Structure 1
Amino acid sequence: MTGTILIADDHPLFRQALAMAAAQVRPDARQVECANLPSALNEAVAADDLILILLDLKMPGAEGFSGVALLHAEKPQVPILVVSSAGAAQASLEAVRFGAVGFISKDADLSVIEQAIADALAGKTIAAPVDAAIDPVAAQIASLTPTQLKVLLGVMRGRLNKQIAYDLGVSEATVKAHMTAIFKKLDVQNRTQAVLAAKALGIELAH
């Protein structure tokens, strides 16, 4: 076997379809399937031979495009191909802003999905690249570490530093240090501005 392909989707039938498509392109690759974002993150961190992530946007634990951002932060060198039923035009742009190499609709033919998988594995970008000069916030969000992203998501939920510390299993002082780094990277002065910066890039929490 050469490499691992992570398939993250909460619908078993569609996971099976993606697994079949991936097997057609890379029959020698090991496949790992996940039905929620936390398990996908754990598998991504654990796999040192990860070569591709196939990701659905709307999964338990995912909020807006946070799944793409978190997985990209954990494995920046691994291509992420978003396969989703979300509105293609806007979702494709947003997915690339967060670090995906492209977006494929779940309505696409299996042959189209297979070609997209082949292109992603070949290092091709399947969507127009985001111009960082036009969208500077994208580069700022991309500079956050995985833990800093998790802290920022906690802030967006209205969690206090001590609550975020409990959620992440770290000290409150560590959270404060991360907040200082987040403010610096996003070029903001306070929590409210940090939340607005994140929302400007499309991170919206589900209610």
Structure 2
Amino acid sequence: MSRSILIADDHPLFRQALALAVGQVAPDATIVEAGTLVAASTAVATTTDLCLILLDLKMPGAVGFSGIALLHAERPEVPILVVSSAEGDNAADEARIFGARGFLRKDADLSVIENAIAKALDGTSSMPRSSAQVQSDLDPIRESVAGLTPMQLKVLLAVLDGQLNKQIAHSLGVSEATVKAHMTAVMRKLDVTNRTQAALVARSLGLHLRH
């Protein structure tokens, strides 16, 4: 039975290093690479036998944890293992909220990364919940963002990038009316009244991250 693993990172050398780790754990797997969030989203949508996503948070097109949210919304059944240099007080816990199965730093030993890949493929989380996790006022908002559909997330990310409805419609291949409908749904889910407020709320979810 065929299976594919997506490596999404904008650094070719680190993609190569992750490919070597995957080769040790799953030599039978086909490796798919992506250097941007758009390319990763396309790969997730078109790779039918995808069994694992290795994801860097800081990629072109991503803001905060938006990469996890978008790819998880596209394929919720496929585990996501974050391998990133991002730092934050509760980065791993927050990554879990958006759909990650595991969270590793890029400077982790190769054996640690290989072990995490093996656990993710087996369906085991390599990211035990922190006993010090404290309920945050932002948690309901994070859960709302995590509940957006793939298209709603793409529209929201385009708004964060400063694009107008016409530009968003062109890049996504839909009508402006469709973009407006998705943005209305986004604003309703985030409990805001305009796109500026929606952008501010969404951007606040990743401001604490340091790369």
With the shorter chain as reference, the TM-score category is: 0.7 to 0.9
RMSD, aligned α-carbons = 2.4
CA shift, 1:203, in A, is 6.7
CA distance in 1, matches of 2:192, 2:58: 29
Counterpart secondary structure, 1:180: helix
CA shift, 1:88, in A, is 6.1
CA 1:11–1:179 in structure 2 vs 1: closer, same or farther (change >3 Å)?
closer
Deviations 1:142-176 (A, max 9, x none): 11111111111222233332232223221111111
Per the alignment, residue 53 of structure 1 pairs with: 53
Deviates more, 1:102-111 or 1:20-29: 20-29
CA distance in 1, matches of 2:40, 2:148: 19
Counterpart secondary structure, 2:182: helix
CA shift, 1:23, in A, is 1.8
Per the alignment, residue 110 of structure 1 pairs with: 110
Which of 131, 134, 150 is the aligned partner of 2:154?
Answer: 150
CA distance in 2, matches of 1:196, 1:124: 35
Per the alignment, residue 162 of structure 1 pairs with: 166
Per the alignment, residue 199 of structure 2 pairs with: 195
5+ long unaligned stretches in structure 1: none
| Pairs aligned (count) | 204
CA distance in 2, matches of 1:12, 1:200: 29
CA distance in 1, matches of 2:25, 2:203: 36
Q: Give the aligned residue type for 2:15.
A: R
CA shift, 1:61, in A, is 3.0
Q: How does 1:1-207 map to 2 (within 5 A)?
A: 1-87=1-87, 89-129=89-129, 134=136, 135-202=139-206
Maintained 8 Å contact 1:88/1:103: no
CA distance in 1, matches of 2:164, 2:18: 39
Deviates more, 1:155-164 or 1:98-107: 155-164
CA distance in 2, matches of 1:139, 1:118: 28
CA shift, 1:129, in A, is 4.8
CA 1:129–1:186 in structure 2 vs 1: closer, same or farther (change >3 Å)?
farther
CA shift, 1:64, in A, is 2.8
Q: Give the aligned residue type for 2:204.
A: A
Structure 2 length-normalised TM: 0.85
CA shift, 1:2, in A, is 3.0
Maintained 8 Å contact 2:5/2:32: yes
CA distance in 1, matches of 2:47, 2:72: 14
